[in-house]
Amino acid sequence: MCGIAGWINLKENLSEKRNLLESMIEALTYRGPDASGRWISDNALIGHRRLIVVDPAGGCQPMERKMGDNRYVITYNGELYNTFDLRQELEGQGYDFKSSSDTEVLLMSYIAWGPKCVEHLNGIYAFGVWDEKERSLFLARDRFGVKPLFYAMRENSLIFASEIKALLKNPLIEPKINAEGLAELFALGPARTPGHGVFKDVFELKPAHSMIFNEGGIHIKKYWSLQSYPHDDGVNITIEKVRQLVSDSIYRQLVADVPLCTFLSGGLDSSAITAIAANTFKKEGKDPLKTFSVDYVDNELYFKSSLFQPNSDLPWIEKMSKEFDTHHHYIKFDTPQLVDALSDAVKARDLPGMADIDSSLWLFCKEVKKETVVALSGECADEIFGGYPWFHNKDMLLLDTFPWSASINERTKILSPEILNLIKPVEYINRRYRETLDEVPRLKGENKLEARRREIFYLNIYWFMSTLLDRKDRMSMASGLEVRVPFCDHRLVQYVWNVPWELKMMDGREKGLLRQALKGILPDYIIDRKKSPYPKTHNPSYEKAVGKWLLEILNDRNSILHKLLNIKEINSMLEGKSDYGKPWFGQLMATPQMFAYLIQVDLWFRENHVWII
C-alpha cells in the first residue's frame, strides 16, 4: 500500500510551492517506506509514498503516460485483484504495457474508459489521475472505503491526501473544529459520519464515490451502491455460490511479490482465510504459511465470558495452526505497552479511536511487519453475514438508534453542560441515524421485521464496518504493513445482501450460511465455534493505568478536557468500581476504554494544536 497527496490550483502557479508538497508526502512516509516520488506542473503538484508489493521496478509513482498530445499522471494507493483480467481486456483494445504493475493497469483503465473505469475495478483503492490537457483531476475511492482519501477546498485550491495529517501540513488548512466536529467526537466517536473529516471543512471522499475537479468546480458522483431484489436461488445453490465467492476472493488476494501472512484468531472468518491460503501455498510448493495472533499478559486469569465475548482464542489457534501446518507466531502484550501505545494510535489514526483496541493492533502490526509485508484479515464477515449480537437480540435489533452505540447516557453524562447545549448529542445522533435510514435500498413486499433487518445490515456496512476498516488501515499502515480484507469483496457483499435472514441463520446459528459454505474447507470444531470478537485485555491493571493517566491530565488545569467534560462525573467514575460490563461502543469498549478514549481526546488536541471555533 502507499500514501498519496496532491494540490491542484487552476488559477495560480504552484510550481514554486513544491516544498509544501514535500512536507505533505513526508507526513505519509510510514505508509510508503520504500520510495517516494513527485510530479510538478504549473497547476498540479502530485506526490506519492510507495510500499512495494508488486513489480518493484515497474510500479514507481507518480506514473505518467502520454497518449497522443495528452499527458496523464496517476498517484494510487491500493491493490487491484482483477489486474490480469483488466490487462487482457485492455490489450485486446490495443493498449500496450511497459510493466506488470496494477498501477499501470489502473492508469490505462482510466485512459480507456475515463471516470467509468471504476465500474471495472475489483480491489481496494484511493487514487487520483491528473489530465494535463484538460486541466482536470479525477479522484476515486473503493466501494467500501478500505483505503482512505481526504480533501479540502481552500480558495482556488483542491488539496487531497490519504490522511488528514498530510492535509494539515499545508498552511491553507488549519486544525479547527466546530460544534459539528465536537459532536462527531462525543456523540458518535470513535465512529464517524461517512464523508466527515471532523476538522472544519475537511472532508472524506465517501466509499464508492468519485470526484472530478476542473474549471467548473467539484463534481462528486456515487458510482456503485447495493441493489435490493428478491433472492431466487435455492439453499444448495446459495451455499455453493457463497463458497465460490469467498474462495475466489481469498485466492485473488494472495498475489504478492513480497512475504504474505494471515491473521489467525481461531474464529470462523480468519480460519477460512488461513485454510485457503495454507492449502494454496502447499499446492504451489511454497514454504508453510505464516500466521499471527495477539493476546495479553495474564488474560487467562481475568477473562470472563459474556454476550459480547463468549470464549478465548488460544485453544482454537493451536488447533488451526496444527491442522494446516502453519508457522504460527504468538504475540503477547502487557498493560504498559498498551497504555503507552495510546499516543501512537492517535497519531496513526489522526483522531481519538478505539482505545486499547487500536493500540494493541498498532503494536501487533508493528511486530508482524518484522516478518512480512502483506497480511490477510477477517474483517467484514460479521457485517455481511450477521454475526453481531444486535442482529440476534430482538431488543437490540429494534432499538431506534445505532445498535453498537445504544448507551447514549454513558456518553452524555460525561459532558459539561456547555458542550451538551452546544452539540446536542441526542439530536445529532438521531439526525445521522435518520439520514442513513433514508439511504437504505428497500425491497418491496418485505415484512416489518425483515425490513428492519435490512436497515441493520445497511447501518453495519456503512458505519460499523467503515470504523473497523479505518482502524485496520491506519494501525497497519503506521508500520507499512498492507492488510487485505477478502470478505469485503463487493461481489460477495452484493450477493449476501439479498439472501433472506432464515438462510443467513441456517441451522439456527449466527453466520449459519457461511458455516455451511465452509464445510469441507474448515474442520467441524471451527465451524461449530461460537463467534468471538477481536480480543481485548481483561487485566484490571489496564483500568488502573488509564485511570491514573486520566487523573494526571485532569490535574492540569490547561487540559482541554476541563472545557469539554463534567469533571465531577469523571472523578466519580474514576473512584467507582471496575466496570468491564455493557459496552458504550461496539462489543469491547466499556469504562476502561472510556478513560482511554478521553486520554486520546486530550492527546489529539495537544498533538494537532486543535482549536475550537
Q: Which SS3 state, helix, strand or coil, does residue 466 take? A: helix
Across 339-486, where does the E strand assignment appear? Answer: 374-376, 482-484
Q: What does the DSSP 8-state code read for residue 118?
A: G
| Nearest-angstrom CA–CA distance, 262 and 148 | 22
Give the cell for residue 63: 506514473
In single-letter form, the type of residue at position 560 comes to I
User: One of 2, 117, 261, 380 is an active-site residue; which one?
Assistant: 2
| Nearest-angstrom CA–CA distance, 267 and 307 | 16
| Nearest-angstrom CA–CA distance, 219 and 211 | 6
> Cβ atoms within 10 A of the Cβ of 215, count?
9
In single-letter form, the type of residue at position 570 comes to I
| Backbone phi and psi for residue 412, each to the nearest 5 degrees, phi listed first | -70, -30
Cα 247-250-254 angle, rounded to 5 deg? 135
Across 374-506, where does the E strand assignment appear? Answer: 374-376, 482-484
Q: Which SS3 state, helix, strand or coil, does residue 189 take? A: coil
Q: In the annotation, is 2 catalytic?
A: yes
How long a stretch of residues is the chain? 613
> Cβ atoms within 10 A of the Cβ of 530, count?
11
Q: At what angle do helices 235-252 and 268-283 cross, to 10 degrees?
A: 60
| ω into 259 cis (within 30 of 0) | no
Q: Which SS3 state, helix, strand or coil, does residue 9 take? A: strand
- 543-564: burial string, b at 16+ Cβ within 10 Å, e else: bebbbebbeebbeeeebbbeeb
Q: Find how far residue 63's CA is from the centre of its chain.
A: 26
Q: What does the DSSP 8-state code read for residue 425?
A: H
Looking at the DSSP assignment, which residues form a beta bridge with residue 295?
A: 332
Radius of gyration of the chain (CA): 24
> Cβ atoms within 10 A of the Cβ of 219, count?
11
- Which residue in 114, 203, 149 sits closest to 1, CA to CA? 149
Give the cell for residue 281: 501455498
Q: What does the DSSP 8-state code read for residue 116?
A: G
Query: Which positions are annotated as active-site residues?
Result: 2
